[in-house]
Amino acid sequence: MTDADDALARAEDAELARRRIADGEYAAPAAGGPAGSASRDDDRFVSPLADSDERVIESALRPKRLEDFVGQARVREQLSLLLRSALRRGRPPDHVLLSGPPGLGKTTIAMIIAAELGAPMRITSGPAIERSGDLAAVLSTLQEGEVVFIDEIHRLARPAEEMLYLAMEDFRVDIVVGKGPGATAIPLDIAPFTLVGATTRAGLLPAPLRDRFGFTAHLDFYQPEELSVIVHRSAGLLGVRIEDAGIGELAQRSRGTPRIANRLLRRVRDYAEVRADGLVTREITRTALELYEVDEMGLDRLDRAVLDALIRRFGGGPVGLSTLAVAVGEEAETVEVVAEPFLVRHGRVATRAGWEHLGLTPPAITEMPTLFD
């Protein structure tokens, strides 16, 4: 067993143990009893967010080179040109900004950039950099050509953000010594580096910071056929026996998000090992995901509650975010960040498909309402 395989096995054991001891979550079967239960309201199987155990598993499943990365064809082609040009010139490439919903591969692409350049990589996040001194400590020890990855870069503290402007543009930071009128700024040159920033809220980035990135890419949701390739690859790495029909069913219910596809694959594998012979078929996939309350469109309890409130209480909408959150008994941020990125692609107005998904007859209108209706 390789080190990567060993780390993957340990991470999966930790995730399974955590689920077994958490109230209301997946539990080991009692004699003659059920193998598990549906997820709790605050632990959604189709959430695009990941906990620490899942991130360790993801690191073992991530592709290491750009040619192995599935989906995002336009972004891959653009990045390939950027990196090849930089390697030919022998200089670090322009700073890269990656935006898009969680779980689509921003961290994976950042790691691939470092691997393609053959450069070391520093990883941090916006919330972890609370003061400008925290950022200065990272930047002042960089080697030439090193890649710095800042996740959730829109959450940088303002002093650190202002220091980053100068570092990105002139490869220099100003270290402030002292306080008050006697404070002095000591300029410190830093090695040329490439910053890769990732954000789920590109609109929150200040314009001066956004303009300093030479390359900006937005990651879109994946198509089912792309997710099928990802599930097939992950199943091979995890040692899961799965039929093509089962792969297609998982891909269809994964909400266009690789992270969710990999999570559902592991949960369906658990079900197949406990209640069947370990082979994941289409029937096993459907039964397992029904247990976990994930329907054929990838919607779970919260999604259906939002859709139900939108249709039954507000006549299909439109309706404001705060009002919708109150109607389903959730925080507005939960609805906006967790549920809506998938649903809102069709607008915060129920479409005909939404009505029909709940078994209701849509109203007889020929056009969707506008802002002035």
- Supply the residues annotated as catalytic: 106-107, 151, 200, 259
- Which of 148, 160, 154, 150 is CA-nearest to residue 202? 154
DSSP for 38-79?
PPPTTS-TT-S---HHHHHHHHHHS-SSGGG--S-HHHHHHH
The token pair at 86 is 């930089």
- Which of 196, 342, 334 is CA-nearest to residue 259? 342
Place of tokens 């650190």: 160
The token pair at 327 is 């109607």
Element holding 352 (H helix, E strand): helix 352-357
Beta bridge partners of 323: none
Residue 318: Cβ-neighbour burial (10 angstroms; 0-12, 13-18, 19+): middle
Pairing of strands 96-99, 194-199: parallel
Separation CA 109–CA 63 (nearest Å)? 9
- Which of 257, 274, 190 is CA-nearest to residue 221? 257
Place of tokens 């919708």: 324
Element holding 109 (H helix, E strand): helix 106-117
Beta bridge partners of 217: 98
C-alpha angle 171/174/178, rounded to 5°?
165
C-alpha angle 122/93/113, rounded to 5°?
50
User: Around Cβ 354, how many Cβ atoms within 10 Å?
Assistant: 22
